[in-house]
């Protein structure tokens, strides 16, 4: 005998949003670093900064730390306005 | 305009029961155990138990960020084997878990073995037949077993917390099948748990913790309050659990067996005294924490001198972050439940229906 059941899966309310336009170049930008405070994330970010600095000549590097690795970063909207691009690193 | 009693869940028709069961398991719409078929009739009866419209949103469940509604909660409650009268408690639990203060996104997705842990207090315990005595953590009682399971099925099916996918827990936790305990109020020598959390004595509440598995506290020897509490503090004050290394925002749960609670209260100690004692004694030397535990000095309290290797680091920020519940049957065992550590437990009042 056939059986009809209801799906237990939740529905997502989806809102389409365009992604931010890509930068044409990293030359001379203020680069933001968002760090989750886990061990070694600073090592990874510092090496990336060295490479980008040599290649593009960054104007400035601005560092921001999350309160903790599992806690959401605060003030991201303000941070985004202050810098041209952000690199986030998750260490462990 | 959608009618309030219209059900929106996708309907799936199978040739027979075996096909239906295998299809649900193949889609991972399950915790791996057998389940009750969510037919429309059963789901409608479950919704009626909630006393709310089917379409009412209850919370948004990470990491999929899908909406938990009365309808899809009821579908998962049917699958878990709940009775319709469990719905108000189940809904209150999910409201608490979806409160931003609980940090459900992290609790669901973390590598840490935390599970949403229900602690129920008040008249609803007797009304639903929740177990609070022998085997308080299970198994053997329908209300505890199926309510905890329904929470997990919502976290999986609505929230996307599938192991290896939205749930990245390294080892998981048996409590992720079901983790629902209740207060043994008659054996509680202090004010009831819900009153300690700021609710009225006549109300019923559920409190959610991001609990690790319970760690046993075995003490058959001590006969005084302080010696008994020293053993409790010893179990709590070790490194390796999240609260030991990430002090700042977490809280923990101590579940005293009635006999330990009686010994402690007979020494004249209030719940507040117990919290202070444990805050003072459940600590780790800074030198040990620095070398072996997760080193997060940024989250340590400012009053702690980081230059003093002998300084003792508490596992929580303040005594009130150590919550004390009495549950269990006769015997000399209690339990310590560390948590995820970066967020807080959340309580909700359970609505009376009908």
Asked if B342 and A7 come within 8 Å (Cβ–Cβ), the reply is no
pLDDT of B277 strictly over 80 = yes
Candidates A7, A13, A70; nearest CB to B67 = A13
Handedness of CA B193, B138, B179, B149 (dihedral sign): negative
pLDDT surpassing 70 at residue B296? no
Distance of CA B15 to the CA centre of its chain: 39
Average pLDDT, chain B: 94
Q: What band does A15 get if pLDDT is binned at 50, 70 and 90?
A: confident
In this prediction, residue B76 carries a pLDDT of 98
pLDDT at res. B177: 98
Respond yes or no on whether ipTM tops 0.85.
Answer: yes
pLDDT at B168: 97
- Which of B150-154, B224-228, B243-247 has the least mean pLDDT? B243-247
Q: Left (φ > 0), alpha (ψ -120 to 50) or beta: where does A9 sit? A: beta
Q: Which residue of B has its CA nearest to A2?
A: B15
pLDDT the model gives residue B297: 59
Sorted by sequence, the CB contacts under 8 Å of residue B85 that are 6+ apart come out as: B49, B127, B128, B353
Contacts of A5 in chain B (CB under 8 A): 11-12, 14, 20, 24, 37-39
Write phi, then psi, for B218 (nearest 5 degrees): -95, 120
Confidence of residue B2 (pLDDT cuts 50, 70, 90): low
pLDDT, position B141 = 98
Size of interface A-B (CB pairs under 8 A): 99
Digit-coded pLDDT (tens) for A66-77: 877 777 788 888
């Amino acid at each position: 005998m056939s059986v009809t059941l209801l799906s237990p899966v939740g529905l997502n309310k989806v809102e389409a949003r365009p992604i931010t336009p890509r930068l044409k170049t990293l030359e001379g930008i203020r680069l933001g670093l968002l760090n989750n405070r886990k061990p070694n994330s600073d090592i990874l970010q510092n090496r990336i900064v060295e490479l980008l600095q040599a290649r593009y000549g960054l104007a400035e590097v601005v560092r921001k730390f999350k309160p903790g690795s599992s806690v959401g970063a605060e003030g991201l909207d303000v941070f985004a306005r202050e810098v041209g691009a952000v690199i986030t690193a998750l260490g462990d | 305009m959608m009618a309030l009693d219209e059900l929106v869940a996708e309907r799936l028709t199978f040739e027979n029961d075996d096909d239906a069961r295998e299809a649900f398991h193949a889609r991972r719409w399950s915790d791996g155990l057998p389940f009750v078929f969510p037919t429309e009739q059963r789901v409608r009866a479950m919704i009626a138990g909630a006393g709310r419209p089917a379409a009412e949103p209850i919370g948004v469940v990470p990491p999929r960020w899908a909406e938990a509604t009365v309808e899809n909660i009821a579908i998962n409650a049917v699958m878990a084997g709940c009775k319709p009268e469990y719905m108000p408690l189940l809904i209150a639990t999910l409201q608490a878990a979806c409160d931003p203060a609980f940090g459900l996104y992290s609790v669901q997705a973390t590598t840490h073995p935390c599970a949403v842990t229900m602690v129920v207090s008040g008249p609803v315990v007797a009304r639903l037949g929740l177990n609070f005595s022998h085997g308080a953590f299970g198994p053997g009682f329908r209300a505890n077993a199926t309510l905890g399971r329904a929470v997990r099925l919502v976290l999986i099916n609505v929230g996307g917390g599938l192991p290896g996918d939205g749930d990245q827990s390294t080892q998981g936790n048996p409590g992720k099948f079901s983790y629902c305990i209740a207060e043994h109020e008659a054996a509680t020598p202090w004010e009831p748990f819900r009153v300690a959390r700021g609710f009225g004595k006549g109300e019923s509440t559920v409190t959610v913790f991001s609990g690790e598995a319970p760690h046993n506290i075995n003490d058959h020897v001590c006969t005084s309050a302080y010696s008994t509490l020293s053993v409790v503090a010893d179990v709590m004050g070790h490194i390796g659990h999240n609260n030991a290394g990430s002090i700042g925002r977490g809280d923990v749960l101590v579940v005293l067996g009635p006999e330990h609670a009686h010994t402690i209260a007979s020494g004249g100690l209030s719940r507040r005294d117990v919290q202070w004692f444990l805050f003072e004694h459940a600590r780790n030397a800074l030198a040990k924490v620095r070398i072996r535990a997760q080193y997060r000095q940024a989250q340590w309290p400012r009053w702690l001198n980081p230059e003093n290797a002998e300084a003792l680091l508490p596992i929580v920020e303040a005594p009130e972050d150590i919550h004390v519940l009495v549950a269990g049957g006769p015997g000399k065992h209690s339990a310590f439940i560390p948590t995820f550590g970066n967020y807080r437990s959340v309580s909700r009042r359970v609505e009376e229906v009908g």
